[in-house]
Structure 1
Amino acid sequence: MATLSVTLPSFGPIFRDNNFHQIADLAKMAEQAGVDRIMLTDHVVMGEHTDKYPYGPFPFPPETAWLEPLASLAHMAAVTSRIRFSTKILIAPLRPAAVLAKTLATMDVLSQGRLEVGVGTGWQREEYEAAGVPWNQRGQRLTDTIAACQELWRDSPASFHSPTVNFDNIWCEPKPAQPDGIPIWVAGALHPNNLGRLVERASGWIPPPYADLHELADGVHTLQDALAAAGRNLDGFGIQGDIDAVTDENGRPSIRPSMDAAPRWAAAGATTINVVMSLFCWRMERAQGWFDDLAQSWEYLALR
């Protein structure tokens, strides 16, 4: 059976009066509900041209407050003991490789090996301009950042040379708690460059937003062939499936009928079923009841 992931809201009206610290309460609820992994999304800054979002209308205005995901995950790790943490997705090219490697290794040590990271290039040019990172280098920087982090987590001292990241004989300590380093999930469509990242460096794949069952299944076959050509296989390789929000008899999104699709996602190749909480619940006072429903739905699926 696949594992259960939940993407928590790190933005928006669930945190009334700027009570963003309550995201730790959501993490405790998720752990108590038996969720295996929490994920957060990433926006460093937001420009005015949200109409450039490539997956339809962007659901929030530019002034929406977004918590930085790595700091938020560290906050949640401090109040939990079992649940794992990841990003969906971290815009890795916006962060210097050595700084990112150090931050992630520190988080993994402090959480006692409970960290993963999902990475991608993002979609917003303004974020790159504000961070002083060339937009036209985003793909190369993603590739180089992943590789540089893995070198820093493995070697002491480490040396690395690429078109956008270079260093010689440096130490990045402490190393991650996980012996093989922090699992990296690469997000996005399976075009040749992204497929290369997945095959060479990744532990898992996050399909593009709104990918359906057929697209996921086709992607799994593509990955299987590419990994085999490189001497790898899908054993232990993560595939994320995002369930859609299904409405109940009152026309409201409901977690119970939505979770009925989970077995179909698993049959198509998903190793973790991801539920986006913001599709269902936007009020903190209703969060505990929502997690209770999620836990019951997941337990029912596991038993049948």
Structure 2
Amino acid sequence: MARAAEDAGIDRVVLVDHVVMGPHTDKYVWGRFPTPPEAPWAEPLTLLAAMAAVTERVKLATGILIAPLRGATLLAKQAATLDQISNGRLELGVACGWQREEYDAAGLDWNQRGQLLTDTLAACKALWTQTPAAFTSETVNFTDTYLMPRPVQQGGVPLWIGGSLNKRNLQRIVESGDGWIPIMGLSTPDMARDVTTIRQALADAGRDPAALRVQGPIPMTKGDDGAFDLARTMENAPAVIEAGATTVQLPIQAFCSNAKDAPAFFAAARRAFDTVVGS
């Protein structure tokens, strides 16, 4: 599927993450959870490494990776290695996740997940840019620490912060983030409002607001038959880009149910995008 995406001119492949699943998928607050608890969830960094080995151009991303479950030093090492394997094509979309059971199973304090995310991201940045690295925070601390090899990308692997634009997420973007992944279901006008807020905060902090990356979900449109219509859905892409998205996102499972149909979907999606936006 990764090779098919690259061949069709798709720019990014984005994988989602759950380390383990608890039984209470009904607690998912953004609608019906798409799988039962026993469904298979491949570990995304491992799967992206396999994709990196058979592709050359397509960006390899997570959206989102539950970063606090992995520990800062291990995540920094895994990401740096994968960035090396892929020749600088890795992008990490990160957030806390929604499921308490994953934190309980990992022996982590669910109530401390926000601080764990903040400290993990800042520690990764330190390990990717300092030799030796030192970092001090509430949950992660080290001095005289070497992480080699470093990522190929200057400044480390890009970090896209996922979730609602609350005060803490805005601070994470300003301090450690390269991009933002809006929460599922956010309207295009609300995304535009939040992009303006982020850009102003970056400017106030002395960072370049024009460098902000935004993964914008394309609002889904159904056809007369009640199924999602790719062409009609893609007509919503220009408004998402106008609202500040630097990349637009479509869920593959809405348009094809198996790997056999994926190449045709990728090619059709690329054609539809070029029709409404331009190649």
> Where on the TM-score scale, by shorter chain, does this alignment land: which range?
over 0.9
Matched, 1:49 2:49: no
Is the 1:156–1:171 Cα contact (8 Å) retained in structure 2?
Answer: yes
What whole-Å deviation, never above 9, does each CA across 1:12-55 have from its counterpart, x for those lacking one? xxxxxxxxxxxxxx111111111111100000000011111121
Report matched runs for 1:282-297 at 5 Å. 282-297=257-272
Question: Which stretch shifts more, 57-66 or 120-129?
Answer: 57-66
Provide the residue aligned with 1:34 in structure 2. 9
Matched, 1:194 2:190: no
- In 1, the alpha carbon distance for the partners of 2:20 and 2:257 equals 22
Q: Secondary structure at the match of 2:135?
A: strand
Give the aligned CA root-mean-square deviation in angstroms. 1.2
Question: Which stretch shifts more, 88-97 or 235-244?
Answer: 235-244
Return 5+ residue gaps in structure 1 as ranges: 1-25
Is the 2:6–2:58 Cα contact (8 Å) retained in structure 1?
Answer: yes
Moved over 3 A (4+): none
Is the 1:90–1:119 Cα contact (8 Å) retained in structure 2?
Answer: yes
Is the 1:245–1:280 Cα contact (8 Å) retained in structure 2?
Answer: no
- In 1, the alpha carbon distance for the partners of 2:278 and 2:26 equals 44
- In 2, the alpha carbon distance for the partners of 1:284 and 1:202 equals 33
Provide the residue aligned with 1:77 in structure 2. 52
Matched, 1:273 2:273: no
- In 2, the alpha carbon distance for the partners of 1:69 and 1:180 equals 22
Provide the residue aligned with 1:18 in structure 2. none
Matched, 1:152 2:127: yes
Return 5+ residue gaps in structure 2 as ranges: none
Structure 2 length as normaliser, TM-score?
0.97
- In 1, the alpha carbon distance for the partners of 2:105 and 2:192 equals 37
- In 2, the alpha carbon distance for the partners of 1:32 and 1:301 equals 20
Is the 2:199–2:212 Cα contact (8 Å) retained in structure 1?
Answer: no
Q: Secondary structure at the match of 2:90?
A: coil
Point out which structure has higher relative CO (alpha carbons under 8 A, 6+ apart).
1
Offset at residue 180 of structure 1 (A): 1.8
Among all aligned residue pairs of Structure 1 and Structure 2, give the percentage whose two residues are the same amino acid: 48
Count the aligned residue pairs.
279
Offset at residue 150 of structure 1 (A): 0.6
Is the 1:203–1:238 Cα contact (8 Å) retained in structure 2?
Answer: yes
Q: Secondary structure at the match of 2:153?
A: coil
Structure 1 length as normaliser, TM-score?
0.89
- In 1, the alpha carbon distance for the partners of 2:206 and 2:244 equals 20
- In 2, the alpha carbon distance for the partners of 1:126 and 1:97 equals 20
